[in-house]
Amino acid sequence: MTNHIESTINDFGRQWEKYTENTGYYASTASLVALFGPLLFPSDVKGKQVADIGAGTGRYCRILNELGAREILVVEPSSAFDILKKNTATCQGIQYLQATAEQIPSNAFDLIFCIGVLQFIQDPIPALRAMGQALNTEGKLFLWVYGEENNRLYLSFVRPMRKITSRMSHELLDKLAGFLVFPASFYSLLCCFLRLPMADYVRQYFSKLDFYTRKLVVYAQLNPKYAKYYRKEELETLLKRSGFFDVQLYHHLGYSWSATARYNGYEL
């Protein structure tokens, strides 16, 4: 398990050291608010003490700062930590911690954000419990993960590919991502006229991205050695087993799950 965690951290460090920029819609407040759906509102962040777990290059940290978070603890374990600090240097009230989610301090946070991280952890319960224990009594976890529903055709292609691409050198994978972004963009164009699989995601997210970010998205799908796609019931059960209650779920664009939950430590 330790080798898996270290390998995943190294993979993402390599990814963020290459793709250091956050541009366009990908870096916009609107992109995060879309993930919130009906679960959170931008005003819920204002004046709050929050944590951003697995912050990468600081995309969501900057958005949370723009939304008026009072204090933000930024947690990132990878070698991209210096890039994260550089990208968020102008943000106010930032504290940095180079650590994994399990090492988050119990600071009585109002909100903890874990966006696009949990699906890469084979045993996520220790991380979830640590995040729960770091919340105050009225605090909430906001979580976003890949969903399995409506993705089975896509997964029938990407899972076999990932067995190869996850073992490629960074240079080769980067070139492959640069090639694949063209058919992905053509598919995005077709979705403007045809009701194809994942059309909502393509129309309302992928088509809004610039070329640089589309290439990053392709790379990010092929880079990790392990990625979990959660069914609704799986995610709800996982959160309850980890000591959370009042679990609310939102099926974002038919391909992923957003969730909020509160913590009392009682397992399902």
CA–centroid distance for 54 within its chain = 8
Can you tell me the mean pLDDT for 259-267? 91
pLDDT > 70 fraction of the chain, expressed in percent and rounded:
99
**Do both 96 and 209 map to the same domain?**
no
Kindly state whether residues 129 and 233 are assigned to the same domain.
yes
Asked whether residue 23 is assigned to any structural domain, the reply reads: no
Q: What is the CATH number of the domain that holds 114?
A: 3.40.50.150
Q: How far apart are CA 255 and CA 205, in angstroms?
A: 11
Same-domain status, 167 and 79? no
Residue pair 19/85 in contact (Cβ under 8 Å)? The answer is no
Q: Say how far apart CA 35 and CA 173 lie, in whole Å.
A: 28
Q: Are residues 53 and 136 in the same domain?
A: yes
Q: Are residues 236 and 107 in the same domain?
A: yes
Query: Would the pTM count as exceeding 0.85?
Result: yes
Residue 83 lies in a domain: yes
- H helices within 205-249, ranges in order? 211-222, 232-241
**Least confident interval from 1-15, 37-51, 101-115, 217-231:** 1-15
On whether both 208 and 235 belong to a single domain, the answer is no
Q: Are residues 123 and 42 in the same domain?
A: yes
- Identify whether 27 is part of a domain: no
Tell whether 11 is covered by a domain. Answer: yes
Residue 243 falls inside a structural domain: yes
Pair 163, 258 in one domain: no
Domain-located, residue 26: no
User: What letter does residue 51 receive in the DSSP assignment?
Assistant: E
For the chain, the 3-state helix, strand and coil shares in percent, each to the nearest 5, are: 50, 20, 35
Pair 105, 215 in one domain: no
Token pair listed for 158: 């990407």
For residue 21, tell me if it sits in a domain: no
pLDDT at 6: 87
**Do both 156 and 233 map to the same domain?**
no
> 123 and 157 share a domain?
no
Both 140 and 161 in one domain: the answer is no
Domain count, the chain: 2
Q: Record the tokens describing residue 176, joined without a space.
A: 């492959």
Over the stretch 44-92, which tens digit does the pLDDT of each residue have? 999 999 999 999 999 999 999 999 999 999 999 999 999 999 999 999 9
Is residue 268 assigned to a domain?
Answer: no
Average pLDDT of 122-150? 96
Domain encompassing residue 254: 2-16+32-148+229-263
With 0-12 CB in 10 A as exposed, 13-18 as middle and 19+ as buried, what is 217?
A: middle
Q: How confident is the model at residue 28 (pLDDT cuts 50, 70, 90)?
A: very high
